[in-house]
Amino acid sequence: MNGKISFGRLNPLTGSLLGAVFGFSLFCTDASADWLHYRGPAFNGSSTEKLPATLPSESPRQLWKASLGVGTSAITVSNGRIYSMGNLNDKDVVYCLDAKTGKEVWRHEYPLGLDKRMFEGGPASTPTLDGEHVYTVSHQGDLFCLEAATGKKIWYKHYQKDLGGRRPQWGFAGSPTVEGRMLLLDVGGESASTVALDKSTGAVLWKAGNDEAGYASPVVATIGGKRTAILFKENALVGLDIKDGRELWRSGWKTSYGVNAATPIVLPGDKIFISSGYGSGCALIAIANGKATELWRNKNLKSQVNTPVAFQNHIYGLDGQADPKSPLVCLDAARGSVVWTDKSVGGGSLVIADGKLIILSERGELLIGDASPAGFKPVLRAQVLGGRCWVQPTYSGGKVFAKNNQGELVALDLSSK
């Protein structure tokens, strides 16, 4: 997806998802199929891969199926292997599987309760990949650096015991984020709200802030010419200088129960889109001269758990609580107005590739169709899983990896062969 978009005279009013000139090529320079982070290589839910020219007319072929244990950990991909987490018999398990066959390459496990937390429970974060290492965090704050090839433990830290973190009500859910030599973590501690570790050794590089942790993953972007760590804390969107954690700006954002969970989306033009559930809504925030200014705020898109995506001047997301009745909504990004609402999708989560939305509904339907202001008309719609699905799908190597909250994972071939 390298097409550019322009807002013309509306450029100064555009938001984080959109910029004066916006193209995924500005974010995604790696054309490989690897999906290294929860929200993909560019933190925005987009893949640089093309989809097959012709998609299956019916259900895509299931290549394999695996059971990984309870949890909402999504799938990351590197070098022909996939990584995820689940909870089995009061143990958290980190899995590495062969992407072609689903065969287990290795697993790493440790004792930890399921902790249902008013949903199925288990791990809610996603393994982060970086070269030879994989980083994982549990809902209690067990942080592991593992050897990606073997699962061997390189180092271990605990958010609360070692880093002074404070566990949020529903457990830690943000995935670790790699930036250069740093591993960025939202631990929510006093004078240690955000922590940067040396990714190779686990040594603390800096600690900063007093905000309670949110449930979103840290994002890194260049804002105002400065490399910035962007975190959606319990009550605010915060920007920190990546070098030392110094606060650069903040914008207050309160949500019931502190559930700021949808990861912020950053766009050219130094603008950021945020959204949250419980009736809170969404906003487009401009960052300039050390200040964060809301360009608009409304309740047209209230993303409780899963993050929207942006494409060609528009924002696409599931509106409302995690619920099979939550509709798919398209917003005009410059104004925040609703372009259309589609009630047929049925909740769930989505990513984007090749200009098409890839949606896994809450009831386990896979839907693929153009991201278009004209409406959503799926060219593929198939039941691929049962149970409840809050887990973001992953598109990599021509395959969709779809997983439900019970840990049932399927690999689906999108070719029409």
- Please give the model's pTM, rounded to 2 decimal places: 0.91
Is it the case that residue 152 has pLDDT exceeding 50? yes
Bridge-based pairing state of the strands 226-232 and 219-223: antiparallel
Task: Please name the helix (run of DSSP H) or strand (run of DSSP E) that holds residue 259, with its range, or none.
Answer: none
Which tokens go with 33?
């199929």
3-class DSSP state for residue 284?
strand
| Cα–Cα distance measured from residue 73 to residue 68, given in angstroms and rounded to the nearest whole number | 10
Q: Count structural domains, the chain.
A: 1
CATH number of 225's domain:
2.130.10.10
Cα–Cα distance, 42 to 28 (Å, whole number): 6
For residues 29 and 357, the model is more confident at 357
* Mean pLDDT, residues 313-322 taken together: 94
Domain range enclosing 105: 5-413
From CA 117, how far away is CA 295, in angstroms rounded?
35
* Whole-number average pLDDT of the chain: 91
258 three-state secondary structure: helix
pLDDT tens for each residue of 32-91: 589 999 999 888 999 989 999 999 988 999 999 999 999 999 999 999 999 999 999 999
Mean pLDDT of 310-322: 94
Report which of 207, 125, 202 is spatially closest to residue 164, judged by C-alpha positions: 207
